[in-house]
A and B are shown apart, each in its own frame.
Chain A
Amino acid sequence: MSSAAANVTLRRLHPASLLFHWFALARQLVFPLVLLALQLRRDRTDWVIYALAGVVVLLVIGSIARYLSTRFGLSEDALHYRSGVLSRQSRVIPFGRIQSVNVQQSALQRVLAMGEMRVETATTGSSAEVTLRVLRWRDAQMLREQLVRERRSALASSAPIVAEAVGATARAASAPVEEVEATPSMIASLDVEQLMVAGGTSNNVGVLLALLFSGCERIRSSFFDDLDLANGIVGSVGSVSSAIGGVSALALFLLLLVVPLLVASWLVSVGGSVVRYYGFTLERVGRDLRRRHGLFSRVEASVPVQRAQALRFHQSVLRRPFDLGELHLVSAGASRGGEAAASGGRQVLLPILKRASLAAFVPEVFPAASLERVLTAPMRDGLWRRPRPIAAARIALDSTISWGMVMALVMWWRPEWALRMLWLLPLLWVLAVVRRRARGLLMANGYVVVRAGGVARTTMILPEAKLQLVEVRQGPLQRLFGMASLRLTTAGTGGDADMVDLPLAEARSVQEDLVSRLPNVVRHARAGTAAATRPIVRSLMPESVPHGV
């Protein structure tokens, strides 16, 4: 990539960038401007208006300069990007280092047939990316295809370590093969009905609604008996048949206000899911996956399978009864501000998935994993390492202590409420038993599966070969019970898995087990094979790792 920089033809973004930038600026400035206008109505001073005009002019000039200074282009082996007026930055991203290329369209961009492209690399941080905003939508898509193709062939040709020398010819040779491979094949698609189910079960508003309508009569009689407010809400909604006569004005008001609000926000989440994921498709393109969705603003994201650190299957409370869940992919080094960063380094791979088909889906991301039997095996099967039953006591004690602190606070404020809060303790203890039974860790075929959550449940699937750090942690209560937590850390943000309350000895042995199966160069060196410079190529790929099981 050394000499290439000289003869790269750099080009500018689409001129409409200016428009979009001004639009974004205006949106940011609306609120301060309104405040200022209100202020000006009180004391009208000319200099404020001049200053304001000056600021606006400066911003406009600045944005024009920024537009003029922003250029990008492709050289033989890298993406070049240059931007900035006062502080200039220029980035060269070798194709092989590109982690993902996403193009997306907001609603406004869609009307104008524009789009933006975001290129992410594997390092963490805000400087880890290049955002091209905006390009013609067709151009963005073509550029994306080109970058993905280049990245693939760069990776393919760098696999043997000698590729540096013969890089050009290797790439030339492998290009047609990649071309054939690159015809996309559909893996999954979701229709509107599925998306409505996903949206309807996605947040906890539904839980609130269900609670309000079903169990409230019982709650009212035991817990909230003489709390005016709660009595109002719960009583009026719960016993609609009997309550019409005795409902107070306040309760009626709340009934008319709160319930429609809840229903409305539930509908919004259903609609939001449909708008966001409309026409969801997941395709395989070569080794990578590609995700496309969106009704108004469209997203087309490449999912970097090779950088995948973990899969996370999350079942919220409402999805448990239907055996549904959401599948996330945790990948290495998602930069801040990207879509992945919004959910903590994870990105949604499938917004809704049946638990039964999870096992069949895993190989799409981790080809070496054959976890069908494992994922469907019941916890009692002996495959799983689980906390001892006494762990329930530890969890119960833990939650009793935290609840006790809350109660102490309330006691100080409203003693009569605190006594009522005692009623919840048995519930917490039952929950402790449920939570203990839900926890489990399993190692099979070079993969670790960690399950947790009595009510909402999370299943993490981690390739052993991608573990970064394995820690045994012990809190004071755990020490008392002779238990420990096992924390498995991967290179992806939000890709940590915690197995809580294993017996200490077992946690340690799992720790040793996992570490001993990692690629270990020092052991090779000790055994007398090649010395310190022996490289392990693609040491992070699960396929190249000898599995213990």
Chain B
Amino acid sequence: MTDAPAAALDDNAREPMDDERTAFGAHESPDLLAPAFDDTPRALAPRVQLWWRIGFLLNAVVPSMALGVLTWFAFFDRSVPHTAAAVALPWIIAGLVGLRIPGRRYAAWRYRVTPDALRLDRGVMFRVESVVPYTRIQHVDTEQGPLERMLGLSHVTVHTASGSGSSLTIPGLTPEDGHALREHLAMLAGVVEPL
């Protein structure tokens, strides 16, 4: 793990997590009354930091190309060093951000499957603690991008009927965890009639 400071969580007094803990038994079908659903805060899979890091770098691709082209054609007289610097700049920024942020973000992320609601606590600069009552869940998706598949990760998206169109995403789950979580949430949500 990285040097992630736990300072962001000072108010919560939560126990530290085992890194490789699986949230749910991968093969047992989640049961409504299963004892697996205690209120313990669960961390994401540590590999998600790598995913975020690569994400930052990928975000640098377009700005780097744009800056390069702009510098080459528009601003300077086609000088190679300037263009090289312009191309490198976004990558350097992404690299620096990628060094610092993912660890802290990982440390700040917790989700809890409590008896009445799904709770998500996250955010480094801006902390957000969401509570999604199961009765409000419209549907639940598991998704896996190509990069996530390579890293063995998946994410779960929880859709509510909220008018601002926001849906909540839990990133960095192992495919088994993601699947189990989706099944479980879907079942909890299915108990009630949707809107």
- Taking Cβ atoms with an 8 Å cutoff, the residues of A that contact B are 122, 124, 309, 330, 332-333, 345, 467-476, 479, 484, 489-496, 504, 508, 511-512, 515-516, 518-523, 525-526, 531-540
Which residue of B115, B135, B160 has the most chain A CB atoms within 10 A of its CB atom?
Answer: B135
> CB distance A518 to B135 under 8 Å?
yes
Tell me, yes or no, whether B96 is within 8 Å of chain A by CB: no
Residues 8-46 of chain B, each 1 if its beta carbon lies under 8 Å from chain A, else 0: 000100000000000000000000110000000000000
Cα–Cα distance between A493 and B163 once the two chains are bound (Å): 4
Tell me the smallest distance from the CB of A162 to a CB of chain B, in Å.
14
Cα–Cα distance between A492 and B195 once the two chains are bound (Å): 12
- Taking Cβ atoms with an 8 Å cutoff, the residues of B that contact A are 11, 32-33, 115-117, 123, 125-136, 160-166, 168, 187-188, 190-193, 195
Cα–Cα distance between A518 and B134 once the two chains are bound (Å): 10
> CB distance A537 to B134 under 8 Å?
no
Given contacts A522-B116, A532-B32, A539-B135, contact A468 B161 (CB under 8 A): yes
Give the residue name and chain of the B residue nearest to A508 (CB): B129
> CB distance B11 to A504 under 8 Å?
yes
Tell me the smallest distance from the CB of A483 to a CB of chain B, in Å.
12
Contact of B32 among A333, A520, A525, A540 (CB under 8 A): A525
Give the residue name and chain of the A residue nearest to B133 (CB): A518
> CB distance B195 to A540 under 8 Å?
yes
Given contacts A124-B163, A468-B160, A532-B32, contact A474 B127 (CB under 8 A): yes
Which residue of B123, B133, B195 has the most chain A CB atoms within 10 A of its CB atom?
Answer: B133
Contact of B165 among A124, A332, A512 (CB under 8 A): A124
Contact of B126 among A470, A473, A493, A516 (CB under 8 A): A473
> CB distance B135 to A332 under 8 Å?
no
Residues of B contacting A504 in the complex (Cβ-Cβ under 8 angstroms): 11
Cα–Cα distance between A202 and B11 once the two chains are bound (Å): 45
Residues of A contacting B125 in the complex (Cβ-Cβ under 8 angstroms): 475-476
What are 14 contact pairs spanning A and B, CB under 8 A? A345-B163, A469-B130, A469-B162, A469-B166, A470-B130, A474-B123, A474-B128, A489-B160, A489-B162, A494-B163, A516-B116, A521-B134, A521-B192, A535-B193
Give the residue name and chain of the B residue nearest to A512 (CB): B131
Tell me the smallest distance from the CB of B89 to a CB of chain A, in Å.
22
Tell me the smallest distance from the CB of B157 to a CB of chain A, in Å.
14
> CB distance A515 to B192 under 8 Å?
no
Contact of A521 among B164, B165, B191 (CB under 8 A): B191
Cα–Cα distance between A508 and B33 once the two chains are bound (Å): 27
Residues of A contacting B132 in the complex (Cβ-Cβ under 8 angstroms): 469
Give the residue name and chain of the B residue nearest to A493 (CB): B163
Give the residue name and chain of the B residue nearest to A531 (CB): B32
Contact of A532 among B11, B123, B191 (CB under 8 A): B191
Cα–Cα distance between A341 and B108 once the two chains are bound (Å): 37
> CB distance B164 to A496 under 8 Å?
yes
> CB distance A470 to B131 under 8 Å?
yes
> CB distance A489 to B164 under 8 Å?
yes
Query: Besides A309-B163, A493-B163, A532-B32, 6 other CB < 8 A contacts?
Result: A345-B163, A492-B163, A522-B191, A532-B187, A536-B192, A539-B192
Cα–Cα distance between A38 and B95 once the two chains are bound (Å): 53
Cα–Cα distance between A489 and B159 once the two chains are bound (Å): 13
Residues of A contacting B33 in the complex (Cβ-Cβ under 8 angstroms): 525-526
Which residue of B115, B129, B161 has the most chain A CB atoms within 10 A of its CB atom?
Answer: B161
> CB distance B164 to A332 under 8 Å?
no
Give the residue name and chain of the B residue nearest to A535 (CB): B193
> CB distance B192 to A495 under 8 Å?
no
Cα–Cα distance between A309 and B192 once the two chains are bound (Å): 19
> CB distance B193 to A495 under 8 Å?
no
Residues of A contacting B117 in the complex (Cβ-Cβ under 8 angstroms): 515
> CB distance B129 to A471 under 8 Å?
yes
Residues of B contacting A332 in the complex (Cβ-Cβ under 8 angstroms): 161, 163, 195
Tell me the smallest distance from the CB of B104 to a CB of chain A, in Å.
13
Residues of A contacting B126 in the complex (Cβ-Cβ under 8 angstroms): 473-476
Cα–Cα distance between A484 and B131 once the two chains are bound (Å): 15
> CB distance A471 to B191 under 8 Å?
no
Residues of A contacting B128 in the complex (Cβ-Cβ under 8 angstroms): 471-474
Tell me the smallest distance from the CB of B77 to a CB of chain A, in Å.
27
Given contacts A504-B11, A532-B190, contact A515 B133 (CB under 8 A): yes
Residues of A contacting B165 in the complex (Cβ-Cβ under 8 angstroms): 124, 493
Residues of A contacting B163 in the complex (Cβ-Cβ under 8 angstroms): 124, 309, 330, 332-333, 345, 489-496
> CB distance A520 to B116 under 8 Å?
yes
Tell me the smallest distance from the CB of B108 to a CB of chain A, in Å.
11
Residues of B contacting A475 in the complex (Cβ-Cβ under 8 angstroms): 125-126
Give the residue name and chain of the A residue nearest to B158 (CB): A469
> CB distance A523 to B160 under 8 Å?
no
Tell me the smallest distance from the CB of A518 to a CB of chain B, in Å.
5
> CB distance A511 to B131 under 8 Å?
yes
Residues of A contacting B115 in the complex (Cβ-Cβ under 8 angstroms): 522-523, 526
Residues of A contacting B131 in the complex (Cβ-Cβ under 8 angstroms): 469-471, 511-512, 515
Given contacts A332-B161, A518-B135, A522-B115, contact A471 B193 (CB under 8 A): no
Residues of A contacting B190 in the complex (Cβ-Cβ under 8 angstroms): 532
Cα–Cα distance between A176 and B164 once the two chains are bound (Å): 40
> CB distance B160 to A469 under 8 Å?
yes
> CB distance B161 to A491 under 8 Å?
yes
Cα–Cα distance between A80 and B3 once the two chains are bound (Å): 62
Residues of B contacting A535 in the complex (Cβ-Cβ under 8 angstroms): 192-193
> CB distance B195 to A520 under 8 Å?
no
Tell me the smallest distance from the CB of A81 to a CB of chain B, in Å.
22
Tell me the smallest distance from the CB of A206 to a CB of chain B, in Å.
31
Given contacts A471-B130, A489-B166, A539-B135, contact A534 B191 (CB under 8 A): yes
Cα–Cα distance between A531 and B125 once the two chains are bound (Å): 42
Give the residue name and chain of the B residue nearest to A330 (CB): B163
Cα–Cα distance between A516 and B191 once the two chains are bound (Å): 17
Cα–Cα distance between A124 and B135 once the two chains are bound (Å): 19
Residues of B contacting A473 in the complex (Cβ-Cβ under 8 angstroms): 126-129
Residues of B contacting A515 in the complex (Cβ-Cβ under 8 angstroms): 116-117, 131, 133
